[in-house]
Structure 1
Amino acid sequence: MPVKKNTKKKSDIKSAKKVIPIKRASKTVKESSSSKKLSVKFRREMQKILNDMRKNLLEDINNTMKTESNHLKFDVGDFYDNASSDRERELSLSLSQRDRQKLNQIEDALKRLEAKTYGQCLMCKDLISEDRLKVMPFTVYCVACLEEEEASNSN
């Protein structure tokens, strides 16, 4: 049986060695920003800001409670004085309720910092911008999701 010689030409071999690079799709804006993490320096800065906010808020709540307790001790007067005093107390209690809600939001943000999920939008899981976090350190939504949430709540 006759032995076949290799009939391939050098040009065929060269063309076989060429590898055509495959172009990969570029990341979308969401993908690239969600893979980005907040810097350690920024996280520490936000932790300090949140702790300061928490401390100030606790002092405000404590002062409100002291004021209310003093009003209850010395609450003497006629009907109109009592009505005015009741209105002031209601206003003070509603403000302290808002303070408590804000305190819960701050404490939740501190927990997210510990869990390393701080700055991640709860809806889309995208990274919330540092500028937004500086303005509202305890926010849980990026601007786009907040607008979407507000639009759905208004309907």
Structure 2
Amino acid sequence: MSTQEVPMNNSPFSSEEINHFEELLKEERKESKHKINEFKERLKELEDKLDNTNSSAAHHQGNIGSSEEEREKYYSLISKEEEKLEEIEEALLRMENGDYGICTSTGKPIKKERLKVKPHAKYSIEAVRAANTT
């Protein structure tokens, strides 16, 4: 997206800053997709191993319990990474709409320092703190 295409109607950031955050978001999106694929591959390997009935030792109660726990871990990791990917896509959409960097709860600007750490943040730290105290 060129600098001229980025609407700046509500965002507290300059075109340069928006471009910087857009690159961060795109890199995070790429990493999240890679992680999801990696977790799915590991999960498939684990499930293939569980389906293997060649060894009775592989089906010992303790092994089955450990494998089930590991399987649940991968499902959880995939779910969390998919949630993050969705938040990244939402942040890119807010960027297109000119609302990037605006807290979706309070309507106030999100501090640049917070977005540097979590460029897909949709809440200001103040909104997060307020939500945690209620």
Tell me if both proteins adopt one fold, taking TM over 0.5 as the criterion. Answer: yes
Is the aligned partner of 1:123 residue 2:98? no
- Count of matched residue pairs: 118
Q: Secondary structure at the match of 1:74?
A: helix
More helix by share: 2
Shift, 1:36, TM fit:
7.3
Q: Structure 2 length as normaliser, TM-score? A: 0.82
Shift, 1:45, TM fit:
0.6
Query: Deviation above 3 Å: which 4+ runs of structure 1?
Result: none
Is the aligned partner of 1:70 residue 2:52? no
Residue 80 of structure 2 aligns with which residue?
A: 98
Write the letter of the residue equivalent to 1:100.
E
2:11–2:101 Cα contact (<8 Å) kept: no
User: Distance in 2 between the 1:36 and 1:70 partners?
Assistant: 45
2:95 alignment partner, one of 101, 113, 119: 113
Shift, 1:79, TM fit:
2.1
What is the aligned-residue RMSD (CA, Å)? 1.5
User: Distance in 1 between the 2:76 and 2:125 partners?
Assistant: 28
Is the aligned partner of 1:44 residue 2:19? yes
User: Distance in 2 between the 1:69 and 1:144 partners?
Assistant: 41
Greater C-alpha Rg? 1
Point out which structure has higher relative CO (alpha carbons under 8 A, 6+ apart). Answer: 2
Q: Structure 1 length as normaliser, TM-score? A: 0.71
String of CA shifts for 1:95-130, please: whole Å, max 9, x gaps. Answer: 111111111111110110111100001122111111
Residue 58 of structure 1 aligns with which residue?
A: 33
User: Distance in 2 between the 1:63 and 1:36 partners?
Assistant: 35
Equivalent pairs: percent with the same residue? 26
Unaligned 5+ segments in structure 2 are: 1-9, 53-57
User: Distance in 1 between the 2:24 and 2:35 partners?
Assistant: 17
User: Distance in 2 between the 1:36 and 1:92 partners?
Assistant: 37
Is the aligned partner of 1:84 residue 2:66? yes
Shift, 1:59, TM fit:
0.6
Written as runs of structure 1 = structure 2, the 5 A alignment for 1:144-155 is 144-152=126-134
Residue 125 of structure 2 aligns with which residue?
A: 143
User: Distance in 1 between the 2:105 and 2:16 partners?
Assistant: 25
Unaligned 5+ segments in structure 1 are: 1-34
